[in-house]
Amino acid sequence: NAGVTQTPKFRVLKTGQSMTLLCAQDMNHEYMYWYRQDPGMGLRLIHYSVGEGTTAKGEVPDGYNVSRLKKQNFLLGLESAAPSQTSVYFCASSQGPQGAKETQYFGPGTRLLVL
């Protein structure tokens, strides 16, 4: 049981390049989330999904797209990377939105540097 995994762990991009971050969970969780974490700021929600085939915008969705084609996977795409997207990206999953089910389990993070 690996929990939540993320690939890649680290990536350097040039401005304008595109990339996809992959998140996978093996806990059969319905909810999945993408956050970014920047120094001095809390984790900020980019996009989230409440089930296979559904996605919704979070607090800072601009410049990112997501897809949830399979329940266990949640992909985060950057179509045209900008230096402002340099950050640590965390994926998380949970069983549901309320009560004990809402404990979020995080992946190890992806460190992205955009030059």
Partner 1 sequence: RKEVEQDPGPFNVPEGATVAFNCTYSNSASQSFFWYRQDCRKEPKLLMSVYSSGNEDGRFTAQLNRASQYISLLIRDSKLSDSATYLCVVRGNTGGFKTIFGAGTRLFVKA
Residues 72-91 as x/- pattern, contact with partner 1 by CB under 8 A: ------------------x-
DSSP characters over 24-37: EESS--SEEEEEEE
> Hey, which residues between 22 and 51 contact partner 1 (CB under 8 A)?
33, 35, 40-45, 48, 50
Give the shortest CB-34-to-partner 1 separation in angstroms.
Answer: 12
Q: Does 53 bind partner 1 (CB under 8 A)?
A: no
40-56 burial string, b = 16+ CB within 10 Å, else e? Answer: eeebebbbbbeeeeebe
